[in-house]
Structure 1
């Protein structure tokens, strides 16, 4: 008996052909024309921008000086150029020696939580190379220590030991312990009628408290607190200020330079050595 041929609808026949072709494509594996897929994790550095440290520069002056304008101008100009905050106090309110007011200022700024580092500069200083970023010095120096996060205080020495004319404090609450402990040492000395500066109190603190001392890193004097040739009191590097150096400090000029106004005289002499940069790049037009 003849078998009657089945009549298959065209749509059903097309579906069978498509499924057969699709199955064949799957059996061939991935196309060799496509590059390999990189499944490696994306490095964090490529997705997270490096945070620029927030910096405050602080100083105070409580009486008229012949070099008032220049001392303020060099610091203010520098702060504007690099986007740092510049804080100046013109009076002090403390029962301790007036020089302790720098620690009161630091405490106040730390408590705002606005800054990563706070840079104290004595008023008798000039920033003589405004090209240099203090953040670069911080980064460079912290690379030289085993545990950078454990360092809260960057300071310098001169021929007599610690010099607190230019130092950096990390802007977090742990830095307050150094300030408060220095206050306590002064207050205890005062009970014994002993005069003590903030520098003396800090030296005593770091001598007695090894844990606190471990949070301090000494920066070469010439990097952060250079002295001119007229004031030859250098640290072990024995490096005098020269043109292009970051900061010049006229500490104790009265003991080294003759005249009625030793600091003012040195300020005028070194004013012409300042590398200012183009003010039009950062002053509002």
Structure 2
């Protein structure tokens, strides 16, 4: 067989070499890109484990008050500043008494699964230092707990015991059972004339049921539910509200302050003490 020798021009050899080089570069780039995407995926997963908790600030108002704008503006401003959700109900539908509606709200919000923690605030409260994050109070409190994952309720006391004007609930199905147990106590104690307040029913559950008690931790009153000097009903810390503290609560103002609108008078006095922060940083 006759074999003819093939002669390839230098230009073709250079072209083939260039193609081989570009192919190698493409494979290397593809491998590097895949590696970088993998790294980014890992970084994203790592950061998600340390993301900030999802928090809702919750209240209700069912009638006209002189301080409606002050209270709503204050809580809405705070929630916007820290990226929390602010939820308000304007109707209360419960046969146990209007104050029990706070528990109905809690149950409804927990069932959505949208929030890790729900902070209930009575309407006669003001956040007087919006620099403070309630998430930090939760974190600090849980660090001091023996079993942090077991804690579902952060509460405060005043001179009379439990005060439900400002408390925090974990967004977990265990909390729903806790609320149902409160309803059960209320229903058992109900008479033709009156029933237990939501505060007394919750206090009885915590005291009578060891499991519920273990899931509750008491926060110092001044940290989450401070009273002003006009309402001298403090917990064992005996701390009166001072400028720079987180929250002020005008609980039972009618029994301590003279005038036609005791709570409105205190709201007007203490709103000038609020540390607001620059609204332009989060409101625009």
CA deviations 1:119-163 (Å, max 9, x no partner) are: 000000000000000000000011111110000000000000000
Query: Are 1:91 and 2:79 counterparts?
Result: no
CA deviations 1:206-258 (Å, max 9, x no partner) are: 12101110000000000000000000000011011010000000000000000
Structure 1 CA distance for aligned equivalents of residues 93 and 57 of structure 2? 20
1:119 — aligned with what? Answer: 119
Q: What is the 5 A alignment of 1:195-210?
A: 195-210=195-210
Aligned pair count?
Answer: 241
1:132 — aligned with what? Answer: 132
1:160 — aligned with what? Answer: 160
Structure 2 CA distance for aligned equivalents of residues 46 and 71 of structure 1? 38
Structure 2 CA distance for aligned equivalents of residues 243 and 173 of structure 1? 37
- Deviation of 1:196 after TM superposition, in Å, equals 0.8
- Deviation of 1:178 after TM superposition, in Å, equals 1.2
- Deviation of 1:189 after TM superposition, in Å, equals 1.4
Query: Are 1:71 and 2:92 counterparts?
Result: no
- Deviation of 1:180 after TM superposition, in Å, equals 0.3
- Deviation of 1:195 after TM superposition, in Å, equals 1.8
Q: Cα RMSD between the aligned structures? A: 1.5
Which residues of structure 1 form unaligned runs of 5+? 1-43
2:183 — aligned with what? Answer: 183
2:10 — aligned with what? Answer: none
Q: What is the 5 A alignment of 1:38-49?
A: 48-49=46-47
1:100 — aligned with what? Answer: 100
Structure 1 CA distance for aligned equivalents of residues 191 and 267 of structure 2? 39
1:171 — aligned with what? Answer: 171
In terms of mean alpha carbon deviation, does 64-73 or 186-195 score higher? 186-195
- Deviation of 1:45 after TM superposition, in Å, equals 10
Structure 2 CA distance for aligned equivalents of residues 192 and 218 of structure 1? 33
Q: Residue 88 of structure 1: SS of its match in structure 2?
A: strand
Structure 2 CA distance for aligned equivalents of residues 47 and 124 of structure 1? 41
- Deviation of 1:175 after TM superposition, in Å, equals 0.5
In terms of mean alpha carbon deviation, does 54-63 or 192-201 score higher? 192-201
CA deviations 1:53-87 (Å, max 9, x no partner) are: 00001000100000010011100000000010000
Q: With structure 1 as the length reference, what TM-score do the two structures score?
A: 0.82
Structure 1 CA distance for aligned equivalents of residues 87 and 253 of structure 2? 25
Q: What is the 5 A alignment of 1:235-274?
A: 235-274=235-274
Which residues of structure 2 form unaligned runs of 5+? 1-41
- Deviation of 1:95 after TM superposition, in Å, equals 1.0
Q: Residue 234 of structure 2: SS of its match in structure 1?
A: coil
Larger Rg: 1
Q: Would you identify which runs of 4 or more consecutive aligned residues in structure 1 move more than 4 Å? A: 44-47, 191-194
- Deviation of 1:191 after TM superposition, in Å, equals 4.7
Structure 2 CA distance for aligned equivalents of residues 200 and 251 of structure 1? 15
The structure in which a higher percent of residues are helix is 2
